[in-house]
Amino acid sequence: MFDSESFDAHEHVCFFHDEATEARGIIAVHSSVLGPAMGGCRVWNYPDTASALTDVLRLSRGMSYKNAVAGLPLGGGKAVLIRSGEERLGDSVFEAFGEVVRQLGGRYVTAEDVGVSVRNMACVARRTSFVSGLPKQAPESAVGGDPSPRTALGVYLGLRAAVRARLDRSGLAGVTVAVQGLGSVGRHLCRLLREAGAALVVADIDPDAVEYACTHFGATAVPVDQILFQQVDVLAPCALGAGLNEASISRLCAKVVAGAANNQLRCETDGQRLFDAGILYAPDYVINAGGIISVGLEYLGETDARVVSTRIAGIETTLDAIFERSRTTRTPTHRIADAMARERLARGRCTVAARAA
Ligand code: NAI
């Protein structure tokens, strides 16, 4: 385990099983160098424990990098709750999960991820205060509630930066975008893109989600196994990860990949493949940071809407810089983002060491 690529020197990994509620899961703390390790909790029906472990480790490391590049005083962690079949996890399971988070004493702070709602987080909050993404205190509140609209906003701004850099177009009017996955983020992204005049091609395994996008955003539906290969300007992966790999990249027609999904590249080499194919890739953990910026600032007690908006707008500026450095140094964008994150983590380590001395 210690030598596996996904382990990557995690500080702490905790397996838990609460017999009373049958809550089973894993919490991974990759790094707390920059602050408490924060990252969402995912509920998924994993084929086996090894898959759940690999997923939580990859996601947790991604959170360290995401929080570092977003400039948040937070480390990186993640949790997975293992579901069997299609059963929905009850409130008691989230309370049991909250108890485990409480026992970690603030090393890990949780929030929503795939399969988890604001309501679920409210159940977690009955047992621990190390939780964010809670119901809004007031409808007009700048923080709180479902972070997906803010994730979608960050993706929209990042996608605009990528279109500017790769297609030399200042706006999105007439730009064609294929959106894979029309869940919480994908649906909001479609709305923003439509308002900006983009034309949408969409796919989802859920026919109702597809129908909604076609009816409300004038999208054209295509089968799920064809969405990646559409003749469009931009591909926006907003379902699950690892869709960009050796087999798929050679068949992509889009010149830009900019979407919300975490871990879009199956492996590091896939970033190089995209670069070699002339496809501009907006690194996933940079472009999808709107949600963590929102829940992170909520946890840190920020209440000013302007602060949250400015930080999310910063995603566009960060990506402008990454794309420019990629162009001038002829380096794939994912490498530049990784170097940026490592640099900030290394600076954080120096600060921690200096404080201890
Ligand atoms: P979600 O669960 O609400 O939506 C995912 C959608 O993808 C669902 O509608 C599902 O039916 C669809 N889907 C699953 N497999 C598919 C396939 N093979 N082809 C087409 N569609 C498929 O999840 P959410 O919250 O929208 O997140 C989407 C992605 O963005 C995930 O990878 C998540 O980790 C990432 N993300 C989400 C954030 C958030 O604020 N919700 C924050 C940062 C990243």
Per-residue pLDDT at 132: 94
Q: What angle do CA 127, 133, 135 make, to 5 degrees?
A: 85
| Most confident residue range from 195-199, 241-245, 293-297 | 195-199
Nearest protein CA to atom 35 of ligand 1, as residue: 261
Using the mean position of ligand 1's atoms as its centre, give its distance from the Cα of residue 331 in Å: 29
Per-residue pLDDT at 304: 84
How many Å apart are CA 353 and CA 236, to the nearest integer?
41
Looking at the CA of residue 240, tell me the nearest atom of ligand 1: 32
How many Å apart are CA 100 and CA 271, to the nearest integer?
36
Per-residue pLDDT at 226: 97
Tokens of 163: 């279109």
Using the mean position of ligand 1's atoms as its centre, give its distance from the Cα of residue 242 in Å: 13
Ligand 1 probe mutation, 113, 180, 226, most atoms within 8 A of CB: 113
Using the mean position of ligand 1's atoms as its centre, give its distance from the Cα of residue 239 in Å: 4
Per-residue pLDDT at 350: 84
How many Å apart are CA 161 and CA 170, to the nearest integer?
9
Q: 47 — alpha (psi -120 to 50), left (phi > 0) or beta?
A: alpha
**Mapped to the 3 state alphabet, what secondary structure does 317-345 carry?**
HHHHHHHHHHHHHCCCHHHHHHHHHHHHH
Catalytic sites, residue numbers = 78
pLDDT in tens, 311-327: 999 999 999 999 999 99
CB 292 within 8 A of CB 38: yes
Give Cα 329 distance to the centre of its chain: 27
The helix or strand, by DSSP H or E, that contains position 79, with its residue range, turns out to be strand 75-82
Residue 19 burial (C-beta neighbours within 10 Å; 0-12, 13-18, 19+): exposed
Using the mean position of ligand 1's atoms as its centre, give its distance from the Cα of residue 60 in Å: 17
CB 131 within 8 A of CB 111: yes
Answer yes or no: is pLDDT of 192 > 90.
yes
How many Å apart are CA 246 and CA 114, to the nearest integer?
25
Looking at the CA of residue 239, tell me the nearest atom of ligand 1: 7
Residues touching ligand 1 (Cβ under 6 Å) are 113-114, 147-148, 151, 180-186, 203-206, 209, 224, 238-241, 260-262, 288, 291
